[in-house]
Structure 1
Amino acid sequence: MAEISDDGVMSGRLLMIACTAALGGFLFGYDSSIINGAVDAVRDGFGLSASGIGFTVSCALLGAMAGAWYAGVCSDRFGRVKTMIIASALLSISALGSGLAFGQLDLILWRFVGGIGVGFASVIAPAYIAEVAPKDERGRLGTMQQMAIVSGIFVALLVSAIVARVAGGAAGTLWMGMEAWRWMFLSELIPAVLYGVLALRLPESPRYLVEKDRISEARDILETIVGVRRARLDSKIAKIRETMKREDSKSFRDLTGGAFFFRPIVWVGILIAVFQQLVGINVIFYYSTTLWQSVGFQESDSFMISVFSSVVNIVATIIAILLIDRLGRKTLLLWGSGLMTVSLGVMALAFNHAVVTADSVSLPAPWGPVALVMANVFIIGFGASWGPVMWVLLGEMFPNKIRGMALGVGGAANWLANFVVSTTFPVLAAIGLDLAYSLYAGFALISFFIVWKMVSETRGMSLEDMVEGKPSGQIPEAERVAGE
Structure 2
Amino acid sequence: MSDAKYSLVVAMLTAGGLVGALSASYVSDRFGRRLALFGTAILMGIGSVIMTFAVNTATLMAGRFVAGLGSGIVTVVVPAYIAECVPKASRGFFGTLNQLAIVVGILVAQGVGMAWSTLAAWRSILAIGIVLAIAQLLLLPFCVDSPRHLASIPGGLNSAKASLLRLRGPPMELVEAEVNEWRNEQMGGGEEDQQTHVATVVESERPKINVVRLLSTAQYRRPLLIILLLQLTQQFSGINAVIFYSTSIMSAVFPESSDLITVYISVVNLLMTIVSAYLMDRVGRRTLFLVSSSMMAVMSILLGWSIEAAGQDKISAAAIIGFVAAFAIGLGPIPFLMIPELVDTPAVSSAGSVGLACNMVSNFVVSAGFLGLRDIIGQDGVFYLFGFILVVMTCLAVYILPETKGRSADEVIRSNWAIHSPQHYQPVRTPPTTTTEV
Same fold (TM over 0.5): yes
How do 1:269-280 and structure 2 match up within 5 A?
269-280=227-238
CA contact (8 A) 1:265 1:468 kept: no
Q: Does 1:331 align with 2:287?
A: yes
- Three-state SS of the structure 1 residue aligned to 2:88 is coil
| CA distance 1:291–1:416, shift in 2 (3 Å) | farther
| CA distance 1:481–1:327, shift in 2 (3 Å) | farther
The one-character-per-residue Cα deviations of 1:384-443 (angstroms, maximum 9, x if unpaired) are 111011221113211223112112111211111112222223433455432332332222
Equivalent residue number for residue 159 of structure 1:
112
In 2, the alpha carbon distance for the partners of 1:81 and 1:173 equals 38
Say how many residue pairs are matched.
Answer: 410
Equivalent residue number for residue 110 of structure 1:
63
| CA distance 1:196–1:128, shift in 2 (3 Å) | same
Q: Does 1:385 align with 2:330?
A: yes
In 1, the alpha carbon distance for the partners of 2:46 and 2:245 equals 26
2:10 to 35, 41, 57: 57
Equivalent residue number for residue 30 of structure 2:
77
How do 1:337-376 and structure 2 match up within 5 A?
337-352=293-308, 365=311, 367-376=312-321
Equivalent residue number for residue 415 of structure 1:
360
The one-character-per-residue Cα deviations of 1:333-370 (angstroms, maximum 9, x if unpaired) are 111111111111122233335xxxxxxxxxx64x3333
- Structure 1, 191-200 or 393-402: larger mean CA deviation: 191-200
- Three-state SS of the structure 1 residue aligned to 2:333 is helix
2:392 to 434, 441, 446: 446
Structure 1 residue ranges without an equivalent (≥5): 1-45, 164-169, 354-363
| CA distance 1:445–1:107, shift in 2 (3 Å) | farther
Equivalent residue number for residue 437 of structure 1:
383
1:122 to 75, 90, 110: 75
- Deviation for aligned residue 1:444: 1.8
2:143 to 202, 205, 209: 202
**Paired AA for residue 59 in structure 1:** M
- Deviation for aligned residue 1:198: 1.7
| CA distance 1:82–1:326, shift in 2 (3 Å) | same
Equivalent residue number for residue 18 of structure 1:
none
CA contact (8 A) 1:151 1:314 kept: yes
**Paired AA for residue 316 in structure 1:** M
In 1, the alpha carbon distance for the partners of 2:212 and 2:397 equals 26
| CA distance 1:59–1:258, shift in 2 (3 Å) | same
Equivalent residue number for residue 265 of structure 2:
309
| CA distance 1:351–1:481, shift in 2 (3 Å) | same
The one-character-per-residue Cα deviations of 1:110-169 (angstroms, maximum 9, x if unpaired) are 222222211111111110111011111111111111111111111111111222xxxxxx
Equivalent residue number for residue 186 of structure 1:
127
In 1, the alpha carbon distance for the partners of 2:163 and 2:340 equals 19
- Deviation for aligned residue 1:321: 1.1
**Paired AA for residue 48 in structure 1:** D
- Structure 1, 338-347 or 216-225: larger mean CA deviation: 216-225
- Deviation for aligned residue 1:239: 4.0
- Deviation for aligned residue 1:452: 0.7
CA contact (8 A) 2:253 2:317 kept: no
**Paired AA for residue 410 in structure 1:** G
CA contact (8 A) 1:333 1:386 kept: yes
| CA distance 1:476–1:470, shift in 2 (3 Å) | farther
CA contact (8 A) 1:67 1:118 kept: yes
In 2, the alpha carbon distance for the partners of 1:426 and 1:188 equals 31
| CA distance 1:407–1:78, shift in 2 (3 Å) | same
Equivalent residue number for residue 88 of structure 2:
135
| CA distance 1:439–1:196, shift in 2 (3 Å) | farther
1:254 to 213, 222, 237: 213
- Deviation for aligned residue 1:317: 0.6
- Three-state SS of the structure 2 residue aligned to 1:189 is helix
- Deviation for aligned residue 1:206: 0.6
Output the TM-score relative to the length of structure 2: 0.84
Structure 2 residue ranges without an equivalent (≥5): 188-201, 431-438
In 1, the alpha carbon distance for the partners of 2:274 and 2:43 equals 30
Equivalent residue number for residue 265 of structure 1:
223
**Paired AA for residue 213 in structure 2:** D
- Indicate the percent of aligned positions where both proteins have the same amino acid: 27
In 1, the alpha carbon distance for the partners of 2:405 and 2:305 equals 37
CA contact (8 A) 1:292 1:302 kept: no
1:400 to 321, 345, 354: 345
Output the TM-score relative to the length of structure 1: 0.76
- Structure 1, 375-384 or 275-284: larger mean CA deviation: 275-284
1:221 to 149, 155, 163: 163
CA contact (8 A) 2:149 2:345 kept: no
In 2, the alpha carbon distance for the partners of 1:109 and 1:453 equals 44
CA contact (8 A) 1:65 1:413 kept: no
- Deviation for aligned residue 1:372: 2.4
In 1, the alpha carbon distance for the partners of 2:53 and 2:258 equals 26
Equivalent residue number for residue 98 of structure 2:
145
2:52 to 99, 104, 107: 99
The one-character-per-residue Cα deviations of 1:306-351 (angstroms, maximum 9, x if unpaired) are 1111110011111111111111111101111111111111222333
User: How big is the alpha-carbon RMSD for the aligned residues of Structure 1 and Structure 2?
Assistant: 3.0
